Structure 1
Amino acid sequence: MTALPIIVWFRESLRLSDHPALAAAAERGAPVICLYVFDEHSPGLRPLGGATRWWLAQSLRSLQTRLREIGNDLVLRCGAAATVVPAVARESNASAVFWNDVAQAPQRDVAKDVDEALAMLGIESNSFADDLLVDPLRLRGKDGRGPRVFTPFWKRLVALGDPPQTLPAPKSLTPVAGISGLSVEQLELEPTAPDWAGGLRETWQVGERAAQARLASFLETTVQTYVADRDRPDQDGTSRLSPHLRFGEISPRQVWHAARFAAAARPVTAGGIDKFMSELGWREFSRHLLHDRPDLATRNLQATFDAFPWRHDDAGLRAWQRGRTGYPIVDAGMRELWHTGTMHNRVRMVVASFLVKHLLIDWRHGERWFWDTLVDADAASNPASWQWVAGSGADAAPYFRVFNPVLQGEKFDPDGAYVRRWVGELAALPAPLIQRPWSATPVELASAGVTLDGNYPAPIVDHKMARERALAAYARARKG
């Protein structure tokens, strides 16, 4: 007698290896239907931004290819998961549906609705822990809350020991014939008129194999200089794994175990790997915050900031978005973001500080712009990082820490290579002037082909004035 099929509902784990739900289904030996539901209909789900929609399309194609290599395929459907998943189960006479958990409030609610709908049909459902290194409930204090400061959070997590070992990808999966689905193109995830994704295509290789190759290359080479180079946007000094983690093309457990193995095999890399692991820890910390505070993207974690006197400045916001602030390191970062869908982490802090402190524009405007333009826009890390910079979040940078964009540029892009790459109109300026073109003489500007407030803007705000204004606004907010 032929076993009834099992549906594996792919959610945010777009890979075959270390996929607990897929491994459990394969172990049963029954035919498997691999299902992805593009869901913009379930209540509470935040619609993807443009850059993440583009990445999702490439990731789904990659997953389709991987599944076809082991004799299966990916069924794509569109709609509310609580409607679509049970419908596919009825169509296929499935005996069970397996999926990996997403430990966020809207996704948990969606999974609960799917579970209840399947129960009404008498269909088994099983969910598996996946997107976190540690269940948030394991890190609760006596007050029932998780840590709000990163360092003790990370120490407690590390003290729990290694996460579970990773799982191999199935070597084969028996398919189920006759289950219809959409093409990736029919999901309409990619821009067409205009097609603004050329820079994304130039910059990224997407999918599980690309993620594994990037991790291996990082641990083999880049990690050796990670501590020194990670803050240098002019250097290739980071892992660039964040979008792969965002879409579950690689799991945090795979990163953890590969990094620990590399450190043991080559002790000289231990310092870089420890620092790299703490960045993985920040991702985890952000997700634990979101687990406790589903409104992380819209509400200040620190109530003091509810009274903050943000400015309404459409012109300033547009200048920031377009990389036309007159501060080269800020403009380079914003242009890199638009072209590639990413931005160096040090520069993210600088541009975020500029928006919320130099311009006094509410951090939520910046968070929404990053949500739309970053390929790694993550529901936890994006707002948690914005709140950290703004001073309104957990373990936040003190508000009086106002990044000086000139000094940041001179320290972390000392030769101006990063600015020259992304702000071409300044490329001919010598290094001592490139982070502060307004200090050049008319002859120096003319020699470099720069016209302030012509082909490149003068600063839209004075740094000293902006810093004093920001500190005064903060003092008023604290007084209530």
Structure 2
Amino acid sequence: MSSPQIVWLRRDLRMADQPALHAAAQAGPVIPVFVLDQDRASDHAYGGASLVWLHYSLESLGRSFGSRRWKIVLRKGDAPQILASIADEVGASCIHAMRHYEPWWKEAEDELRDALGEDRKLCLYDGNYLLPPGSVTTGSGDPYKIYTPFSKAMLEVMPPRDVLGEPETISSPETWPESDELSDWDLLPTKPDWAGGIRDFWEFGEAAAHDRLDWWTDEVADYDEGRNLPSKDITSRLSPHLHWGEISPAQVWHKLKDKRNDGWKTYAKEIIWRDYAQNVIDQFPDYPRESYRDYDERTLWRNPNAGHLIEEDLKCWQRGMTGYPIVDAGMRQLWQTGWMHNRVRMICASFLVKHLLIDWRFGEQWYWDCLVDADYGNNGVNWQWISGTGVDSNMFSRIMAPLTQSEKFDAADYIREYVPELEGLSDDNIHDPPDDKRGDYPVKMIGHKEARERALEAYRASKS
């Protein structure tokens, strides 16, 4: 009998189009292993909402494996040490894994390679992005830093690779290593159980991802016109499924590529943005922590750690109590569902950094903890774009007007859903309620004109 093959699972929780699993199944009996290694990522360990999704995604994949009399070995701790130990225990000749590009996973892959020594191999496979980072370069051979030329270069080499089906046959080892019970990890909150909204909003796992993609195939034609309307179910909502690897971007691309309409063309660029963000992280591993523009950030930001009132401002934003209904609707949707519509993500992020002058890193960390699709690349790149501090970003002096955005993109349904204390107001009043009609809803933390003038003054001071 061939020696066992270990498949190291991370955020690639699917059976179809999983090159590591496919290669392992062809080589011998397969032992899938997921190691929860929270310490390694430091301040970017899985946040609370991510742990909820992880629980249900592992549970779903476990059921799929169980239908083949197969299972996932669950362990907790230092991933390279645990994987090397299991390889020694079962006599595995190779550990197969999908390649991940976050700096802590690159480090873990190097450590595992060293721990395995010369007798065992670590085989890495690409497939979590359309193309591996660095695959498209400028005319001089350098990686792209700016999205628009990157996107054009990507479109020239699309479509991505062909997709793989599920392995036709998978053999099990004669004996299985010991495994933790998923319930023992306590990934789900209990007192209080704040994850109810996440469970109600989402279906988890590979089958759910493909169900959503099947639905989206018929709806993508409306995407170009409707993608900015937060009250409408017009976006794909595939982001958490892609983030956790329950579906691959190649599967999405090939499913939709024959839809020759404006909706698909626009959506294709959104998938490419995901690759772009990962290319930025590959060049600048600390991008979600460090700014890359020549600002004096000591004069630009009001630091919540430096004063009680500024800390309270941050908490009001986090809780959806800013007095701007569109901002508060977004922040409450984030807390309740683990997700926020992309247009509203930008509005809320802009409000934090430009109306409140709070360092974008506080916002990045809050989104990281609350989002079920909290992606190291996407989250960091998006925050730096909106704050004007990244290698490719909006100018800081371009300041979103929340009321204008609200009136343009929400017919009041979104606000009524997530800010129920305003649901009785008319469409004319709900975007900017008069003070005498607010009831228990807070007044604005700061007026838009005052906030804009303050932000521009801080911007000028940071450049002098």
Q: Shorter-chain TM-score: what band?
A: over 0.9
Match of 1:462 among 426, 447, 459: 447
Contact 2:253 2:268 in 1 (8 A): yes
Q: Give, in whole Å, the separation in 1 of the partners of 2:42 and 2:441.
A: 42
Q: Give, in whole Å, the separation in 2 of the partners of 1:407 and 1:385.
A: 21
Deviation at 1:161, TM superposition (A): 2.9
Larger displacement relative to structure 2 (302-311 or 401-410)? 302-311
Q: Give, in whole Å, the separation in 2 of the partners of 1:364 and 1:144.
A: 32
Q: Give, in whole Å, the separation in 1 of the partners of 2:403 and 2:126.
A: 45
Larger displacement relative to structure 2 (421-430 or 298-307)? 298-307
Quick one: which amino acid aligns to residue 461 of structure 2? R
Q: Give, in whole Å, the separation in 2 of the partners of 1:403 and 1:424.
A: 24
Contact 1:305 1:392 in 2 (8 A): no
Per the alignment, residue 14 of structure 1 pairs with 13
Per the alignment, residue 433 of structure 1 pairs with 429
Quick one: which amino acid aligns to residue 11 of structure 1? R
Match of 2:353 among 338, 342, 356: 356
Per the alignment, residue 241 of structure 2 pairs with 244
The TM-score, its normalising length taken from structure 1, stands at 0.92
Deviation at 1:315, TM superposition (A): 1.2
Deviation at 1:45, TM superposition (A): 7.6
Please list every run of 5 or more consecutive structure 1 residues that lacks an aligned counterpart in the other structure.
none
Deviation at 1:23, TM superposition (A): 0.6
CA 1:174–1:193: 2 relative to 1, 3 Å:
same
Deviation at 1:285, TM superposition (A): 0.7
Per the alignment, residue 38 of structure 1 pairs with 36
Residues 255-289 of structure 1, C-alpha deviations (whole Å, 9 max, x = no match): 1111113x1xxx4xx21001011111111111111
Per the alignment, residue 306 of structure 2 pairs with none
Deviation at 1:110, TM superposition (A): 0.5
Match of 1:137 among 134, 138, 154: 134
Q: Give, in whole Å, the separation in 2 of the partners of 1:145 and 1:399.
A: 27
Number of residue equivalences:
457
Secondary structure at the aligned position of 2:358 is classed as coil
Per the alignment, residue 474 of structure 1 pairs with 459
Match of 1:70 among 63, 68, 71: 68
Deviation at 1:306, TM superposition (A): 4.0
Quick one: which amino acid aligns to residue 216 of structure 1? D
Superposed, which structure 2 residues align to 1:258-273 within 5 Å?
Answer: 258-261=255-258, 263=259, 267=260, 270-273=261-264
Quick one: which amino acid aligns to residue 2 of structure 2? A
Deviation at 1:307, TM superposition (A): 4.9
Deviation at 1:103, TM superposition (A): 2.0
State whether structure 2 residue 275 is matched by structure 1 residue 275. no
Deviation at 1:186, TM superposition (A): 1.5
Match of 2:410 among 409, 413, 416: 413
Superposed, which structure 2 residues align to 1:126-165 within 5 Å?
Answer: 126-141=123-138, 145-165=142-162
CA 1:282–1:185: 2 relative to 1, 3 Å:
same
CA 1:11–1:126: 2 relative to 1, 3 Å:
same
Secondary structure at the aligned position of 1:371 is classed as helix
Superposed, which structure 2 residues align to 1:57-456 within 5 Å?
Answer: 57-120=55-118, 122-141=119-138, 145-176=142-173, 177-220=175-218, 222-261=219-258, 263=259, 267=260, 270-304=261-295, 306-312=297-303, 313-414=310-411, 416-438=412-434, 442=436, 445=437, 450-451=438-439, 455-456=440-441
Per the alignment, residue 307 of structure 2 pairs with none
Deviation at 1:239, TM superposition (A): 0.3
Q: Give, in whole Å, the separation in 1 of the partners of 2:203 and 2:299.
A: 42
Secondary structure at the aligned position of 1:7 is classed as strand
Contact 1:296 1:383 in 2 (8 A): yes
Per the alignment, residue 4 of structure 2 pairs with 5
Quick one: which amino acid aligns to residue 141 of structure 1? T
Residues 212-270 of structure 1, C-alpha deviations (whole Å, 9 max, x = no match): 111110111x2121111100011111000000111000111111111113x1xxx4xx2
Deviation at 1:296, TM superposition (A): 1.0
Contact 1:103 1:131 in 2 (8 A): no
Deviation at 1:143, TM superposition (A): 6.2
Quick one: which amino acid aligns to residue 6 of structure 1? Q
CA 1:248–1:308: 2 relative to 1, 3 Å:
farther
Please list every run of 5 or more consecutive structure 2 residues that lacks an aligned counterpart in the other structure.
304-309
Q: Give, in whole Å, the separation in 1 of the partners of 2:43 and 2:60.
A: 24
Q: Give, in whole Å, the separation in 2 of the partners of 1:201 and 1:208.
A: 16
Q: Give the RMSD, CA atoms, in angstroms.
A: 1.5
Secondary structure at the aligned position of 2:271 is classed as helix
The TM-score, its normalising length taken from structure 2, stands at 0.95
CA 1:142–1:271: 2 relative to 1, 3 Å:
closer
Deviation at 1:438, TM superposition (A): 2.1
CA 1:128–1:155: 2 relative to 1, 3 Å:
same
Contact 1:71 1:172 in 2 (8 A): no
Contact 2:133 2:275 in 1 (8 A): no
Quick one: which amino acid aligns to residue 106 of structure 1? W
Q: Give, in whole Å, the separation in 2 of the partners of 1:324 and 1:459.
A: 9
Contact 1:326 1:460 in 2 (8 A): yes
